[in-house]
Amino acid sequence: MKTFIENKPAIPIVSHLNPNGSKWALKEKLWLGLSKQEYKEQFIRNPVNWVLIFIFAIGIPILLQRYIFGLGSITHGSNDYPWGLFLGFGLFGMVPLSASGFLLGTTVEIFGRKDFTPIERLALLNGLLGYFFAVVYLLVDLGMPWRLYYPMIVSLGPAAVLFLVAWHVATYLSVQIAEVSSAFFEWIGWLKGKRFIKSITIGLTVAGIILSTLHQGALGALFTYAPTKVHPLWLSANFQWIHFFCSAIFAGLSMVMVSAALCKRYLTWRCDRQFLDNIDRCTLGLGKGCAYALITYLVIKLVGIAHDNEWAYLLTGWGQYFMLEMALAVILPMMLFAYGVKHQRVGMVRLAAWISVLGIIWNRLNTSMICFNWQTYQEIPHWKEIWATVTVFAIYFIVYRFILYRLPILYQWQGER
Amino acid sequence: MKKLINRRRFLQGSLVASAAAAFPLAKNTAAANFEGYPDSMGVLVDLSRCVGCRSCEAACNKEQNLPAPEKPFNDFSVFDELSHGQKRRTDETRYTVVNRHDIPGLKHPLFRKIQCNHCLEPACLTSCFVNAYTKTPEGAVIYDASVCVGCRTCMIACPFNIPAFRYSSAFDPKIMKCIFCYDTRLVKGLPPACVEACPQEVMTFGRRTDLLEMGRQRIRENPDAYVDHIYGENEAGGTAWMYLSPVPFEQVEFNTAVPKEPILNYVKDFLSIVPMVLTIWPALFTGIHLLATKKEKMEQQKKSEGSES
């Protein structure tokens, strides 16, 4: 893209008007103002696309195999590990990383911290896509994906935790679509729609907080159904929901920091000055929030251990693994965040964000797979299951990039807004 | 003014939502002391009588029209099969299995039959978000494949690792588990096929309350032959299938860590915060919003007043 931008003053598209006075057609907007030939050239030039093609070349047939021959054909089909990577990573990992939407929404709209506005839309989009793809992972994992809507209308089991997850993820997805749609309305130039969304922003944001609190918590509470299977250090019947909710706070914030850092580095052409000039300051601000969330999380994890009097487990092998997780995924990023924020070291805060993103995925995999059935055996997923998981993640990446290239997420739309 | 109406509508909405959420919770609280249907049936399994002939496995296979096994039912080498170091378990081809357990200090091995224990307050049922499971007054825990989405939470929740999933099918997968021969036998008052097939009278079919009495009596009359515990009397809140054993239950690889209360009790802490969050959060966060933006609004007001005068 950079090469084209140098030679073509009209792109990147930032307003409805072409510099020669005519309006951009929707089709031109979709092609980023490039001709088909140019679009192809930039696609081929980007090495990331070749990696993606490689992933899809093997991954798409695997996904087809899953839908034609059943889950058992690409996984071990284990009855002892009913939930594998699709849920362990796709649902339990992606959802906390998507808490960014409601967190930044709350910061800007509810707490009135307008200084975080430059990063708000990125956070909302990150949230929306994360949830959407958590549902995509569900569609891969569910035995009968075509019955996804059953808990909504066909047969209701309202006393089950998963019922809550289903309803809240569904409603929250709609809330997030509404929140992100204002960027879409600007882009297509339908201001009425944007104003309507703006008029209900507070309602949407508060709904977002409620739904997020409950379903982030509910994902944790799902494991309280298995008090004899999950290792006691990763399961606290009383506090599991708040452990999951609290860790989603630093996970979501870290994810948006990571995403913003990647955009700044690799999507510079799409960012405007307002984004580029403010991103470091916003990162430091979010880093501060992360440090607070991490220390809170550490303390409530300890409270969980104390409450169930599980200290003796810390001396076992599992206990050492637990302490390793706490040290690498909680204490280390916490220190880096605190030090980085205090000494205004943006690079260090970004490193901490990367660590805590990986750390939260590690924690969710520990809870759902590695420390599950801790008294019997551990199962290593089938390579096809791993590849399929990576494939869905690659689709997520493409959709994310597709939207960032086009909608006013990293830049402000010029003219009528 | 427009905003105010929005907010009020919003609050109304959340009240309705929390009322809806409170309803199933109320049902749960009532169920907290549920001790099972009064005349529900059960089976008492006496491990000291079982010789491992696998007749029950064969009878189940036939009654439930399950696929023919790889090895015939008179092949006893299956007792040596291990997968991931684990003895055989129920899966999509078998609702019940018998395993051999060599007990140190005992001259002969013990055999233990596994199948659904038909809990009084089943974890599978309470964790199911489409109500696919039903506990019938006769005592069976049955499953309705026509509403199942295949999320497999029931398999996570079952403390006895019983439900299995038909992973091999892309178009007709479902949960596979023992249903106490509900439709073919239990409704007619008949014992399940496995019980009827047993040549050793290992299993006794009867009202659960009577079986408990019988179990206690056997222990009382023969205190040296049994450990003083009926597995399933209180495990997971009580089960319809119960066991007597001549040796401590963990030696026959029973999970003795299964809590003596329904699994649902572990989930209630979370379920009870749901209506609170639904009702308190809207007020709390709109309140914070008003507090946080008050200064801004006052400044705006001042500015507009200043420009008027």
The per-residue pLDDT for B308 is: 58
Query: Phi and psi (nearest 5°) for B170?
Result: -90, -30
CATH code (residue B260): 3.30.70.20
Contact between A143 and B165 (Cβ < 8 Å): yes
Look at residues A106, A99, A105, A107 and name the one whose alpha carbon lies nearest to residue A126: A99
Is residue B291 one of the residues assigned to a domain? no
- Domain membership flag for residue B182: yes
**In chain A, which residue's Cα lies nearest the Cα of B156?**
A226
Q: Which among A143, A159, A163 has CB closest to B165?
A: A143
| E strand or H helix that includes residue A378 | none
Looking at this predicted complex, what is its ipTM? 0.90
With CB atoms and an 8 Å threshold, state whether B167 touches A222.
no
Q: What residues have CB less than 8 Å from A217, skipping those under 6 apart?
A: A241, A242, A244, A245, B270, B273
C-alpha–C-alpha distance, residues A245 and A253, integer Å: 13
In a domain, B122, yes or no: yes
What six digits make up the tokens of A63?
A: 């996904």
Q: In the structure, what pLDDT confidence band is assigned to residue B32 with cuts at 50, 70 and 90? A: low
Taking an 8 Å cut-off on Cβ atoms, the answer to whether A241 and B270 are in contact is yes
Q: Looking at residue B7, what is its pLDDT?
A: 44
The band of B33, judged by pLDDT with boundaries at 50, 70 and 90, is: low
Answer whether residue B24 shows pLDDT above 60. no
Q: Are A245 and A337 in contact (CB under 8 A)?
A: no
Best of A63, A74, A110, A384 to mutate (most B CBs within 10 Å, chain B): A110
Question: Of 1.20.1280.290, 1.10.1740.110, 3.40.50.2020, 1.20.1630.10, which CATH number belongs to A79-406?
Answer: 1.20.1630.10
pLDDT (0 to 100) of residue A11: 76
Place B22 in a pLDDT band, splitting at 50, 70 and 90: very low
- Give the integer Cα–Cα distance in Å for B94 and B116: 11
CB contact under 8 A, B3 and A157: no
Find the angle CA(A354)-CA(A356)-CA(A360) to the nearest 5 degrees: 125
Interface test with A, best of B152, B154, B284, B297 (most A CBs within 10 A): B152
Q: Which residue has the tokens 């081809």?
A: B93
Q: Nearest Cβ partner of B167 from A72, A110, A229?
A: A72
Which residues of chain B make contact with A241, given a CB cutoff of 8 A? 269-270, 273
Asked if residue A263 lies in contact with residue A121, where contact means CB atoms within 8 angstroms, the answer is: no
Low-confidence ranges of chain A (pLDDT < 70): 416-417
Please give, rounded to a whole number of angstroms, the shortest distance from the CA of A117 to a CA of chain B.
15
- pLDDT at position B300 is 85
Reported confidence tier of residue B309, pLDDT bands at 50, 70, 90: low
The pLDDT value recorded for residue B307 is 66
Q: Which residue has the higher pLDDT, A362 or B17?
A: A362
Predicted local confidence at residue B293, as pLDDT: 87
Domain count, chain B: 1
pLDDT score at A417: 64
Q: Let me know the angle formed at the C-alpha of A366 by A369 and A307, rounded to the nearest 5 degrees.
A: 120
Q: Return the amino acid letter for B209.
A: T
Structural domain contains residue B306? no
The model's confidence at residue B3, banded by pLDDT at 50, 70 and 90, is very low
**How confident is the model over B220-234, as a mean pLDDT?**
95
Strands B133-135 and B141-143 come out as antiparallel
d(CA B207, CA B38): 9
Domain range for B163 is 41-266
**Residue B301 lies inside a defined structural domain of this protein:** no
Rounded to the nearest angstrom, the minimum Cα separation between A245 and chain B is: 12
Question: Whole-number mean pLDDT of chain B?
Answer: 88
Count CB-CB contacts under 10 A for residue A270.
21
Measured in angstroms, the CA of A287 and the nearest CA of chain B are apart by 21
Is residue B123 predicted with pLDDT exceeding 50? yes
Of B164, B168, B270, the CB nearest to A161: B270
Measured between CA atoms, the residue of chain A closest to residue B18 is A210
B85–A376 C-beta distance less than 8 A: yes
**B31 in a structural domain:** no
CB A329 within 8 A of CB A320: no
CA B266 to chain centre: 13
Give the span between the Cα atoms of B69 and B87, in whole angstroms. Answer: 17
Distance from CA of B201 to the nearest CA of A (A): 31
pLDDT of residue B26: 46
Two tokens, residue B3: 């905003």
Query: What's chain A's Rg over C-alpha atoms?
Result: 22
- Taking each helix axis from N to C terminus, what angle separates A273-307 and A117-141, rounded to the nearest 10 degrees? 60
Under DSSP, the state recorded for B66 is P
Q: Which of B29, B26, B94 lies closest to B66 in space, CA to CA?
A: B94
